[in-house]
Amino acid sequence: MGLCTGDSLFGANSPYIKFNDGDIVAVEGVNTVERLLTNNLRIPYKQLLKSRVVLKAGQANYFLNHLGLGDNATFLAIKATYNSKSVNEEDNYVVWNFYSDFSKLYAMGKIMVLTGNSENRIEQLYLTNPSTKYAVTLDIMVAVIDDEYSFFNDDLNNNGASFDNLTLDNIETHVVDETIVLWDSQTPRAPLLYLVLSNVNSLTQAGDFLIIDDAAYGNILLDFGSEALAMQANSLVNYTMNTPGVIIQNLVPKEDDVDPIVYFHPTIRDMIGTATISVAGTSSVPVDTSMGYTFSTQLTLGTFSFVNANMLVNWCVDYVYDNRDGTMSVDGDNITLYDGNSDVTSAITATGSTYSFNFSITDIAGNSVSNKVAMEIYVI
């Protein structure tokens, strides 16, 4: 139940609803036009907690947990106080949902009251402040009709879940090659989620979020607060899923800051009698992008009327390997080809000129083959 209280934006004489002598009354000017009698209500309780929570600007999915009273609340009242600088009425609301269903979101204005009984208790709530500019202060009262006292088991449900304010330190291996655990950030810490690796259908990084499609839980949203950290988390979980024996907490560092390496064929087209692929400063072959920035070879156009980007990749690149992601696929879309005038072109078509290309290859963590790396090709 949500109620809007206080003076309207349109003036003190506009109609409004307020609490008066224990009742809920509708007022127009000096007149009381309607009254909902509530002062005769008696809601029993045996346990009671009162607290204040500040939802930061943009804070999402704050887990209320009924202030620690677990799954057994039978009375919940939340009063919201918005920043005085937030003058647009449409901006002043709080989004909430029951923990059992992340697909249904609800909104409250200035106050919300939920009641239950011993057989129909109030589910845990997640609260979100949609305002990206201002915090909102929530005064909360929770009561339980009896002495039941248990806590929400954060093993989640089939509708998915969301967790925020995460870092890589919140993720650890639980059972090697089988499960990882997501810890909270408290001291002592407690597990939020045990994730069975074989149940993960897919991982998607979107902005600050890592989205895990899990066969048991549904979609799990992990908010790392920055795109860079979400990319690192995506890389870390992928690495754990695809590499036997990984123990996340033993990785030093946990972050992946190593660029993928391009390994070249010894000779162009990897054929005897064709020009070698070399790097400035050494005559050894084969070479790779860890050895320098400027690579060169010679191409005989011969019977080819043109050589496009896909052909160049196949003729020059043996494979690409990343320390976390393993062997990476590469094709013509991963290079930019330039003609002798340094203009972007789609193919080599002329002899007696030096063409060049550089790479666009990025691993899951966001590390890229340096844009300083260039392959120079003299065409005869």
Give the pLDDT confidence score for residue 159 in this predicted structure.
52
Banded model confidence at residue 37, pLDDT cuts 50, 70, 90: very high
Same fold yes or no, 47-144 and 161-250: no
Asked if the model's pLDDT at residue 22 lies above 80, the reply is yes
**Contact assessment for residue 275 and residue 297, using Cβ atoms and an 8 Å cutoff:** yes
92's tokens: 């002043």
Banded model confidence at residue 191, pLDDT cuts 50, 70, 90: low
DSSP-derived secondary structure letter, 70: B
Of 211, 213, 216, which is closest to residue 234 (Cα–Cα)? 211
Find the range with the poorest average confidence among 59-63, 328-332, 355-359.
59-63
Average pLDDT over residues 170-189: 86
Average pLDDT over residues 250-257: 96
Task: Work out the end-to-end distance of the chain between its first and last CA atoms, rounded to an integer number of angstroms.
Answer: 80
Burial (Cβ within 10 Å: 0-12, 13-18, ≥19) of residue 36: exposed
Banded model confidence at residue 337, pLDDT cuts 50, 70, 90: very high
Query: SS3 string of 79-123?
Result: EEEECCCCCCHHHCCEEEEECCCCCCCEEECCEEEEECECCECCC
Asked if the model's pLDDT at residue 318 lies above 70, the reply is yes
Find the range with the poorest average confidence among 9-23, 97-111, 228-242, 244-258.
9-23
312's tokens: 């160049």
117, 175, 220, 236, 255 from 179: Cα distances, Å: 38, 5, 15, 13, 20
Angstrom distance (rounded) from CA 220 to CA 355: 47
Q: What is the pLDDT of residues 260-314, one digit of tens each?
A: 999 999 999 999 989 999 998 888 899 999 999 999 999 999 889 999 999 999 9
Average pLDDT over residues 166-176: 92
Asked if the model's pLDDT at residue 180 lies above 50, the reply is yes
Residue type present at position 206: A
Of 71, 48, 64, 49, which is closest to residue 152 (Cα–Cα)? 71
Angstrom distance (rounded) from CA 265 to CA 259: 20
Give the pLDDT confidence score for residue 252 in this predicted structure.
94
Length of the chain measured in residues: 380
Asked if CATH classification 2.30.29 holds for the domain at 161-250, the reply, yes or no, is yes
Of 292, 59, 17, 61, which is closest to residue 154 (Cα–Cα)? 61
Burial (Cβ within 10 Å: 0-12, 13-18, ≥19) of residue 251: middle
Asked if the model's pLDDT at residue 9 lies above 60, the reply is no
Specify the 3-state DSSP secondary structure of 197. Answer: helix
256: how many CB neighbours lie within 10 A of its CB?
Answer: 22
180's tokens: 């990882």
Angstrom distance (rounded) from CA 292 to CA 276: 16
H-helix or E-strand spanning residue 261: strand 261-264
- 47-144: CATH class: mainly beta
**Contact assessment for residue 364 and residue 324, using Cβ atoms and an 8 Å cutoff:** yes
Share of the chain above pLDDT 90, in %: 59
Domain positions in the chain are: 2-36, 47-144, 161-250, 261-379
Angstrom distance (rounded) from CA 355 to CA 350: 9
Within 13 Å, how many C-alpha atoms sit on residue 4's CB side? 11
Banded model confidence at residue 97, pLDDT cuts 50, 70, 90: confident
**Contact assessment for residue 207 and residue 215, using Cβ atoms and an 8 Å cutoff:** no
Ranked by mean pLDDT, which of 57-66, 113-122, 148-157, 229-238 comes out on top?
Answer: 229-238
β pairing state of 317-322 and 294-299? unpaired
Angstrom distance (rounded) from CA 32 to CA 332: 75
Asked if the model's pLDDT at residue 1 lies above 60, the reply is no
**Contact assessment for residue 348 and residue 299, using Cβ atoms and an 8 Å cutoff:** yes
Asked if the model's pLDDT at residue 241 lies above 90, the reply is yes
Higher pLDDT, 294 or 19: 294
